Amino acid sequence: MTPFITDSAIIEIASKTMWVSLQLSAPILVTALVVGFAISLFQSMTQIQEFTLSFVPKVVAVGAALLFSGNWMLHTLVSFTVELFDMVPDLLA
């Protein structure tokens, strides 16, 4: 018996995967973007060009974003993985 996987099933899995990856990366990327923009604005207004002034606050903010959204991110990833494994018998039938 050969598995019969349709194009639509592959596209559905790929689109769900991209959506979940977008959801999981959004809190970290948005936090880094907002903090980076704020620090860059501050540096341009004060003419301070110090590397650690932009790096350290971003690291702290991304760490805080991971602490606040980490539980939700883990739950989203686990539920997606369970959903993906539940789809395997339907794909091979």
Question: Confidence band (pLDDT; 50, 70, 90) for 62?
Answer: very high
pTM for this predicted structure: 0.79
Q: For 16-60, how does the pLDDT look when each residue is reduced to its tens digit (9 = 90+)?
A: 999 999 999 999 999 999 999 999 999 889 888 887 788 899 999
Distance CA 52, CA 11 (A): 43
**Is the pLDDT at 11 greater than 80, yes or no?**
yes
Q: What is the pLDDT of residue 38?
A: 94
- Residue 58: Cβ within 10 Å count: 17
Q: Can you give the residue ranges of every domain in the chain?
A: 29-92
- Give residues with Cβ within 8 angstroms of 76, minimum separation 6: 20, 23, 24
Q: What is the pLDDT of residue 69?
A: 96
